[in-house]
């Protein structure tokens, strides 16, 4: 167990005009840990994730990341080329809608290979071999490698997006409702896949979800957000089985038992 956090978010604040979307959110993420952020739509969980990733400008606070050499750096103080390099290699972002994370007109193999090339790979044969291997790992028939993702089902597209993100072996993966738009049977397969890959690769991950069952299955710890604020944080099963905050109690008691 490492004692140094990989990611440290301090008092992060995001405003949309006069609305406070994220209100002084603070959390840490340690290597190999999976953190879930839950809350209903409008609670600010996706805004928090996007601000951590640098897609939304912060109106206060900071995001610190530990580089390979152990130095903790504030992301907004890094030179832009270095930030882009981090985003291409060490970080990955899985969008709820695979169309936002894939290029729909180029082949599946091209989608995976593109990220490898952005990270510096040049040898075509090796790129193709690696792409084939990753299609297999996310349970896509390698015979479909030259087909564009628009010919894939929603579940396959989502698995392809995950392959594209993981091919560069990132240390940190941010996921926004990765199972959100999928049928229940497809969700189960994807959840099992994410669970296995996270554990096999020793990834650190932050997963935004409104689905408490997804949080229970994947996350070691969780944060509950309401109105832009983190109202409760703790061990996943403790927050779900013994929620302390009124809003967490409402959230847990509102789940339909199948």
Partner 1 sequence: MSEPLLAVEGLSKEFTLHLQGGVRLPVLRGVSLTVRAGECVALTGPSGAGKSTLMRALYGNYLPGRGRILVRHHGRLVDLAAASPREIVAVRRETVGYVSQFLRVIPRVPARAIVAEPLRAAGMDAAASEREAERLLARLNLPQRLWSLPPATFSGGEQQRVNLARGFAFPYPVMLVDEPTASLDPANAEVAVGLIQEAKARGAAIVGIFHDADVRRAVATREHPVVPLAAAA
Burial class (CB in 10 A: 0-12, 13-18, 19+), 241: exposed
The two beta strands, 72-74 and 60-66, are antiparallel
Q: How far is the CB of 225 from partner 1 (least distance, A)?
A: 17
Q: Which is nearer to partner 1, 19 or 238 (CB)?
A: 238
Q: How far is the CB of 33 from partner 1 (least distance, A)?
A: 7
Q: How far is the CB of 242 from partner 1 (least distance, A)?
A: 4
- Name residues whose C-beta falls within 8 Å of residue 74's C-beta, 6 or more positions apart in sequence: 62, 63, 64
Q: Which two tokens stand for residue 27?
A: 């959390």
Q: How far is the CB of 128 from partner 1 (least distance, A)?
A: 28
Q: Which is nearer to partner 1, 20 or 30 (CB)?
A: 30
Q: How far is the CB of 140 from partner 1 (least distance, A)?
A: 16
Alpha helices in 182-257 (DSSP H): 184-201, 212-218, 236-241, 246-253
> Which parts of this chain interact with partner 1 (CB under 8 A)?
1, 30, 33, 188-189, 191-192, 195, 217, 220-221, 234-235, 237-238, 241-242, 244-246, 249-250, 253
Q: Which is nearer to partner 1, 86 or 217 (CB)?
A: 217
- Beta-bridge partners for 225: 230
Phi, psi of 131 (to 5 degrees): -60, -45
Spatial distance between the Cα atoms of 210 and 43, rounded to a whole number of angstroms: 10
Q: Which is nearer to partner 1, 132 or 204 (CB)?
A: 204
Q: Which is nearer to partner 1, 26 or 238 (CB)?
A: 238
């Amino acid at each position: 167990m490492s004692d140094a956090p990989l990611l440290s978010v301090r008092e992060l604040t995001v405003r949309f005009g006069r609305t406070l979307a994220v209100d002084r959110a603070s959390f840490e993420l340690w290597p190999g840990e999976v953190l879930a952020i839950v809350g209903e739509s409008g609670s600010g969980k996706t805004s928090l994730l996007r601000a951590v990733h640098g897609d939304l400008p912060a109106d206060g606070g900071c995001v610190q990341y530990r580089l390979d050499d152990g130095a903790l750096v504030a992301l907004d103080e890094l030179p832009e080329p270095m930030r882009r390099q981090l985003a291409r290699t060490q970080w990955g972002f899985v969008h709820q809608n695979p169309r936002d994370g894939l290029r729909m007109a180029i082949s599946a193999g091209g989608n995976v290979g593109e990220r490898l090339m952005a990270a510096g790979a040049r040898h075509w044969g090796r790129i193709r071999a690696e792409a084939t291997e990753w299609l297999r790992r996310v349970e896509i028939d390698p015979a479909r490698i030259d087909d564009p993702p628009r010919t894939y089902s929603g579940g396959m597209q989502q698995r392809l997006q995950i392959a594209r993100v993981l091919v560069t072996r990132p240390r940190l993966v941010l996921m926004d409702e990765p199972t959100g738009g999928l049928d229940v049977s497809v969700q189960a397969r994807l959840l099992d896949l994410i669970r296995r890959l996270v554990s096999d690769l020793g990834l650190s991950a932050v997963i935004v979800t409104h689905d408490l069952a997804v949080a229970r299955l994947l996350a070691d710890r969780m944060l509950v957000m309401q109105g832009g604020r983190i109202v409760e944080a703790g061990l996943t099963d403790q927050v779900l089985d013994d929620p302390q905050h009124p809003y967490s109690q409402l959230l847990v008691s509102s789940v339909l038992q199948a």
